[in-house]
A and B are shown apart, each in its own frame.
Chain A
Amino acid sequence: MSTQTEQGGRILTYVDAIREALTQEMEADESVFVFGLDVDDHKGIQGSTKGLVEKFGPERVFTTPLSEDAMTGAAIGAAMTGMRPVHVHIRMDFLMLAMNQLVNMAAKTHYMYAGAYKVPMVVRSMIGKSWGQGAQHSQGLHSMFAHVPGLKVVAPANAYDVKGCLISAIRDNNPVIFMEHRLLYFTDAYVPEQSYALPFGKARTHGPGDGKGGDVTLVGVSNMVMECLRARELLADAGVAAEVIDPVTLVPLDFESIAASAKRTGKVVIVDNAWLNCGFSAEIAARIAERDDLRHVRIRRMGYAPTTCPTTPWLEKEFYPNPVTIAGEAYALARPDGAKWTPDPKHAELAYQAKFRGPF
């Protein structure tokens, strides 16, 4: 903590870290602009773009017609000709309207034109959860984007990473799908005030804290990192030490950090913020299975129920993995012959409120 403070770190929320990254990059580079429906209104995308239009003017911060397809193409065309657009969508679900441009153009332009044009653009979008977000405001669609060569996919899970990754994404000469999560917006962490860029392809390992290698590895994506950290607290009650790996960037993927942890623990629970079928969790499982030195590793996958997300809270609760179900799955994997265990309900309730501030 003191180290972070000496570096200018102070406690900052995820949403404020996003806004700070945008502000600093717009100050540093005139070619950066921010656009998307509602970026300049009084709410400013849950606060993440609030104040930018006052600071940088309506030419560099502007709302758009409800035309995700054309607006994505416009971002690509602007990026090809010297600008660095940040295109903002308040929900990831809306990216389905931009799929043609993202998959057929953004991802392929640099390749099919043999490097003649680059597409340095950022597509920010937010995954929703809870309070009736339902079928079309809750989807984590990163696996679709991670499938396509040419796109980078980033899913920061804390305030420190979101600032450093957004700055890197803006400076990157490729299209970056930048995935945020609504429930992470008000989490906080120590975040340096100065600008910093975090390298893509470097996972964050939250060590097991047992002085050894840990009993089980939890790999979480986006908000599921938070849920895995909460599950880790619960698992400690049962004497199970969990190491939590946050890939941070899905493409490029730091598989070696996952492999190193898997090798130590021999047990991996992959908790995706998405469905399992043909998804990112399947990719990690397959890569583990393909490695001869990880032949001993046992794998479980968790994610959305194989259903559409319902709105009613009674069903929605069942739709997502949570600290209790993650801890239960991890315990069963780590202690296959152990006594049956479920987390203490009181601790489980507290775990939901647990904050993880780093330092990261």
Chain B
Amino acid sequence: MIRNSDLVERLYRGLRLVRRAEERVAEIYPSDKIKSPVHLSIGQEAASVAVCDVLGPDDIVGGTYRGHALYLAKGGTLRGMLAEMYGKATGAAGGKGGSMHLVSAEHNVLGATAVVGTNIPIAVGAALSAKMRRSGQVVACFFGDGASEEGVFAESLNFAALKNLPILFVCENNFYAIHEPLDKRWATRRLCERVATYGIPTHLIDNDDVLAMHDASKAAVERIRAGGGPEFIEYHAYRLREHVGPNEDFSAGYRTDTEAEPWRALDQVTVLAAMLDDKRRAEIDADVEAEIAEAEKFAEESQPPALEELHRHVYAD
């Protein structure tokens, strides 16, 4: 089933890059070359890849500590990401942010935060600014199910709706906050209903489907850009690795391998790979591997920051 081969190729390439880059990160991790905790998005790459395909270069995104997919999908370089994880001067934040704070002003990646929910009002502020500057930019704000429990989420929804701001809220619901399942944290699962009470249109994609996400976010971003105000998408996907670190953790007891099975069957990298002919897929795969190898070499060979960098950037000039 091929809908649009250009689109499928782009999405596949995006998904494949994030997946393979993170798998490589997981392989390198035990060597201690990576000087940063890593929160891998393996299994839940699709929301970032789909939404960023819809956004233009001037549009803005803000994300979380599980943010490799968003950073790469919005155009952040893999070189910058790996060098940042290695703690090198050439990293996205010169080694000062690490895996949890990937940033690229050039690509309008507002950064990523490690305190859950904290990025949401920042993105709302960027949307307020876009509206005040009449820039035509749309902001996409990514967060997880845990963030929806923070008070600031409700505050931010209300304000974004009140001011009719150009922002797309994307909740990546992976059903766990660290190791705590949704049913221990949510009184009901009616998240979209909760959001809708602010007058914000909501959309639920509950089967990890990158093409459905692309359709939904494309339509939402068009409405938002036309002045329609904020929209909300809840996207269900499954985190296949541990909360933090390179490994699987199905033996830990808080969730089961059986629970993961249907999500593995939905794996979007595999699904999209099957839509491409073998030759084209092999070309893309080879490109991705070359990019990863080159970025890894770059990170390895880059220098650590000069010691005086410790004191730089505390205040802006």
A interface residues with partner B (beta carbon < 8 Å)? 33, 59-60, 64-65, 67, 69-83, 85, 100-101, 104-105, 109-120, 149-150, 152, 173-174
Nearest Cβ on chain A to B216's Cβ, whole angstroms:
24
Kindly list the 7 A-B residue pairs having the minimum CB-CB distance in the complex, ordered from nearest.
A77-B125, A73-B121, A70-B155, A67-B155, A74-B125, A114-B94, A173-B316
**Chain B residues positioned under 8 Å from A111 (CB to CB):** 96, 313-314
User: Which of A72, A81, A100, A116 sits near B129, CB closer than 8 Å?
Assistant: A81
In the complex, given contacts A67-B159, A78-B132, A111-B96, what are 18 additional A-B residue pairs having Cβ atoms less than 8 angstroms apart?
A59-B132, A60-B132, A70-B121, A70-B158, A73-B118, A74-B156, A81-B125, A100-B152, A110-B313, A110-B314, A112-B111, A113-B111, A114-B95, A116-B104, A117-B103, A119-B316, A120-B316, A149-B314
13 contacts between A and B (CB under 8 A): A70-B121, A70-B124, A73-B118, A73-B152, A74-B124, A74-B159, A77-B110, A77-B121, A78-B129, A81-B125, A82-B129, A115-B316, A150-B315
**Chain B residues positioned under 8 Å from A70 (CB to CB):** 120-121, 124, 152, 155-156, 158-159
Q: How many angstroms from the CA of A20 to the CA of B105 in the assembled complex?
A: 35
**Chain A residues positioned under 8 Å from B60 (CB to CB):** 81
Evaluate contact between A116 and B133: CB separation under 8 angstroms: no
Interface residues in B120-168 by Cβ distance below 8 A to A read 120-130, 132-133, 151-152, 155-156, 158-159, 162
CB of B41 closer than 8 Å to a CB of A: no
**Chain B residues positioned under 8 Å from A60 (CB to CB):** 132
**Most chain B beta-carbon neighbours within 10 Å: one of A67, A73, A75, A101:** A73
Q: How many angstroms from the CA of A120 to the CA of B125 in the assembled complex?
A: 13
**Chain B residues positioned under 8 Å from A83 (CB to CB):** 128-129, 132-133
Interface residues in B272-317 by Cβ distance below 8 A to A read 312-317
**Chain B residues positioned under 8 Å from A67 (CB to CB):** 152, 155-156, 158-159
B interface residues with partner A (beta carbon < 8 Å)? 60, 62, 93-97, 101, 103-105, 110-111, 113, 115, 118, 120-130, 132-133, 151-152, 155-156, 158-159, 162, 312-317
**Most chain A beta-carbon neighbours within 10 Å: one of B124, B132, B159:** B132
Closest-by-CB residue of B relative to A116 is B105
Nearest Cβ on chain A to B306's Cβ, whole angstroms:
13
Q: How many angstroms from the CA of A174 to the CA of B314 in the assembled complex?
A: 9
Evaluate contact between B132 and A69: CB separation under 8 angstroms: no
User: Which of B103, B128, B156, B158 sits near A116, CB closer than 8 Å?
Assistant: B103
**Chain A residues positioned under 8 Å from B125 (CB to CB):** 73-81, 85
**Chain A residues positioned under 8 Å from B128 (CB to CB):** 74, 77-78, 83
Evaluate contact between A118 and B316: CB separation under 8 angstroms: yes
Q: How many angstroms from the CA of A152 to the CA of B155 in the assembled complex?
A: 26
Evaluate contact between A117 and B159: CB separation under 8 angstroms: no
Evaluate contact between B316 and A110: CB separation under 8 angstroms: yes
Evaluate contact between A110 and B315: CB separation under 8 angstroms: yes
**Chain A residues positioned under 8 Å from B97 (CB to CB):** 112-114
Closest-by-CB residue of B relative to A107 is B314
Evaluate contact between A116 and B93: CB separation under 8 angstroms: yes
Q: How many angstroms from the CA of A150 to the CA of B125 in the assembled complex?
A: 20
Closest-by-CB residue of A relative to B123 is A77
Closest-by-CB residue of A relative to B114 is A104
Nearest Cβ on chain A to B172's Cβ, whole angstroms:
19
**Chain B residues positioned under 8 Å from A113 (CB to CB):** 93, 96-97, 101, 103, 105, 111
**Chain B residues positioned under 8 Å from A101 (CB to CB):** 118, 121
Q: How many angstroms from the CA of A70 to the CA of B127 in the assembled complex?
A: 13
Nearest Cβ on chain A to B222's Cβ, whole angstroms:
22
